[in-house]
Structure 1
């Protein structure tokens, strides 16, 4: 394992510098990047400095976790980082700078060549997981009147690591006209003009478009790149598939960790104190919910004293309702994130979810109600009416949990709060309080009629 080799390297203080450098460079730097969070700050900086070549260092810095990245940047300082980041792809450099504190950002940008600094300033003003935050300003820009032979000759004369296989036709006023691929270019006559090569459909995205929608567009249109424009159709850059894939992966991870109330970043790459600080507020939400549930139980104390057997099935009812609520919330959140749920089909999706929830409530309510009624007198020494209580409680609690699970993410979205939060402790607490109230109220009404 690379991490064991690195740890053995640092456990030997007498190892020659040349041998240490050789061992570090013999390992895959992408593997090192994924494991860097397991090492101390000094060792991270040591490895970074001993890697041979700026390309490896740049890739390691970009691929490692945010905390390790900031530790390396803080140790080496703006004077080193400014020229180092200038050599990286602009979208990646912008992502790295964007993570730093504003004063650190300013110091790094001040050390850069003015043109480079301005380019990065234009990129870091957009949110990270949007088209503006992921785009690169370097792409194959073509004038409408250029001919195929000139375009090919220009590409050969000016090879670039940022070059991709798509060409974007831009008018003199910087507006997007269309695009064509390298395959399209090779299949036309040498004197064919760019304006005549462009495809009929030229998809594009706006600067503030989230990566989920960009991914959906690229998947639907089978695109490897997509141009980024503003409201006036002025081209600002392009987004590549690998940038979108990375953004989508990061967003998915953040949503997953948020859903379980842990944190919005990789918890394995954080210190224990950071993990505690990130999770404690969510547990406090559960604490408040538990206190409210206790007051609900207190308010039904008289009824529970007479019919103590009702208490036995509280976990059963709440467990079913809780699972149904989280299922509904997760489906809605996932649909919103992937773009499968839009304004035109939202009503249909909600109607379908409510039908499913209500149907499941009836199915399990009837099954559980009949089973408990059959066993009530013989095994629980109570009235068969207990089955009616539990059955009705399940039907009502599951139906209400479906409503909460389906509508809470939409409410959060309306309030500009991440809908993923609704699938974590929030939905659980709401379901517990409301489900408990419904079940105990149903039990009180049923047994009072006996």
Structure 2
């Protein structure tokens, strides 16, 4: 439904742009959520994007639109916006979103923006920019509610109303000592159910889930998801509260990491194809396809080694596609399950033995089932002509071997990569399928040669 609505919105906007129906366009643009407009922006020219942007009256909507644009779209569109106009939009954005957008600006424009921003805000943004983009410090929000443990519940509520009206995540109040070190956390529910005169230290939660500023964003996201919290505090090495990572950022992290894993598994890099030039895309895909090429050459030599076997029983060639295909499919399934499990935290590298044994058992069971099925088909088709059942047995055993080894390789390789701190996603796709193809071909011809006495 959402895709259909966005498609209708895009077609309507394009039609009104062609007609120059400014009044109707303004009504649609200002009634449409900026997140939906960001989807439409991807398929418009820069001039059309600028026209729509100028029609947005609410600066907060402009801010949401800029923060929702893809890096590729943002980079082109931002060239049309002057520094002063950009500053007006940034005034309506959280500091962490401002830092993300400034990081994507050309260096000259980024410096100009930082120079003209208000001193306090500029320092806040520069502090965020000092952290790596994919760490807790790089994605944290520096605006949070932090109160002394001596404050009472009444004072905390008054402080929320007076001093923190614009805080992005007011659902948690963080309690700090005189050195700004995190000592506890209070939820809004706790705050409103206790007696007004109760000090925060008497009912705050001291068992706190916190992360360090240099923790990888994927690990931060796993913590938020595992403990079902709306935000997680970010502390430095001295346990001083520096900021918080909110659940909306966690959703973006999971989407980003899942996309990167999928692209890595396919051997096409970490970015969407529209953000890559032809040269860049070619350079990224070249080594992975080279691995497939080398695998194909090795398979060619293996088949050549069993040339006499093929000459004597040419029917063996008919089963090569199904044997390699079944092995490749179950290998991809196993590697995908393991990579996804490692990415979401449901699996850890220490589970290696259990995971590999389980996938191997599954591969063997499926191999027996499909090996028997394909062997039966081989016997029905070629049994009478060859006057032997050994071809069917050879094909069945080859399928069993191929699927068992594929499940083993597909689960073992990413688990080993995860244990040695290499991204498991790079172990799938071309790498796994190519190695499985080579092993499957060798096992098939070796088994057939022995059983058929060739």
Q: TM-score, normalised by structure 1?
A: 0.89
Q: 2:230 aligns with which of 212, 224, 242?
A: 224
How do residues 215-294 of structure 1 correspond to structure 2 at under 5 angstroms? 215-267=221-273, 270=275, 273=278, 277=282, 280-281=285-286, 282-294=288-300
Match status 1:351 vs 2:370: no
How many angstroms apart in 2 are the aligned matches of 1:100 and 1:387? 64
Q: Is the counterpart of residue 30 in structure 1 residue 35 in structure 2?
A: yes
Match of residue 327 from structure 2: 321
Say which SS state the counterpart of residue 295 (structure 1) adopts: helix
Mapped to 1, the partners of 2:223 and 2:142 lie a distance apart of 20
Q: Separation in 2 of the partners of 1:97 and 1:285?
A: 38
> Which of residues 401, 421, 425 in structure 1 aligns to 2:426?
421
In structure 1, the partner of 2:51 is 46
**Pairing 1:72-221 to 2, within 5 Å after superposition:** 72-100=77-105, 105-158=110-163, 159-221=165-227
Q: Is the 8 A contact 1:229 1:237 kept in 2?
A: yes
Post-superposition offset of 1:422: 2.8
Which range moves more in the overlay, 287-296 or 419-428? 287-296
- After superposition, the Cα gap between the structure-2 partners of 1:40 and 1:314, relative to the gap in structure 1 and judged at 3 Å, is same
CA contact (8 A) 1:263 1:275 kept: no
Which of 340, 357, 366 lines up with 2:346 in the alignment? 340
Q: Distance in 2 between the 1:140 and 1:100 partners?
A: 30
Shift of 1:391: 2.1
> More displaced, 269-278 or 128-137?
269-278
Whether contact under 8 Å (1:129, 1:251) holds in the other structure is no
Do the aligned partners of 2:331 and 2:432 also contact (CA within 8 Å) in 1? yes
Does the 8 A contact of 2:406 with 2:436 survive in 1? yes
User: Any stretches of 5+ residues in structure 1 without a counterpart?
Assistant: none
Please tell me whether residue 58 in structure 1 is matched to residue 63 in structure 2: yes
- Assess, with a 3 A threshold, how the Cα gap between structure 1 residues 194 and 6 changes in structure 2: closer, same or farther: same
CA RMSD of aligned residues (A): 2.8
1:139 Cα deviation (Å)?
A: 0.5
* Counterparts in 2 of 1:76 and 1:277: CA distance versus 1, 3 Å: farther
Which sits farther off after the overlay, 50-59 or 101-110?
Answer: 101-110
Q: Give the Cα separation in 1 of the matches to 2:206 and 2:271.
A: 41
Structure 2's unaligned 5+ residue stretches are 1-7
Give the match for residue 9 of structure 1. Answer: 16
CA distance in 1, matches of 2:119, 2:203: 37
Residue number in structure 1 paired with 2:440 = 435
What is the CA–CA distance in structure 1 between the aligned matches of 2:279 and 2:64, rounded to whole Å? Answer: 26
How far apart are the structure 1 equivalents of 2:421 and 2:110? 27
- Is this contact kept in 2: 1:139–1:162, CA < 8 A? yes
1:301 aligns with: 307
| 8 Å contact kept, 1:78–1:104 | yes
Whether the 8 Å CA contact 1:141–1:170 is kept in 2: the answer is yes
Q: Is the 8 A contact 1:374 1:384 kept in 2?
A: no
Task: List per-residue Cα deviations over 1:144-203 (Å, max 9, x = no partner).
Answer: 211221111111113114241110011222221010111111122222111112124222
Q: CA shift at 1:19, angstroms? A: 5.4
Equivalent residues of 1:136, 1:238 under 8 A apart: yes
Contact 1:225 1:240 in 2 (8 A): yes
- After superposition, the Cα gap between the structure-2 partners of 1:432 and 1:383, relative to the gap in structure 1 and judged at 3 Å, is same
Q: In structure 2, do the counterparts of structure 1 residues 393 and 208 end up closer, same or farther at CA, with 3 Å as the change threshold?
A: farther
Indicate the residue corresponding to 1:361 in structure 2: 367
Q: Is the 8 A contact 2:360 2:405 kept in 1?
A: no
- 2:3 corresponds in structure 1 to none
SS of the counterpart of 1:139?
Answer: coil
2:450 equivalent in structure 1? 445
CA spacing shift, 1:110–1:382, aligned 2, 3 Å: farther
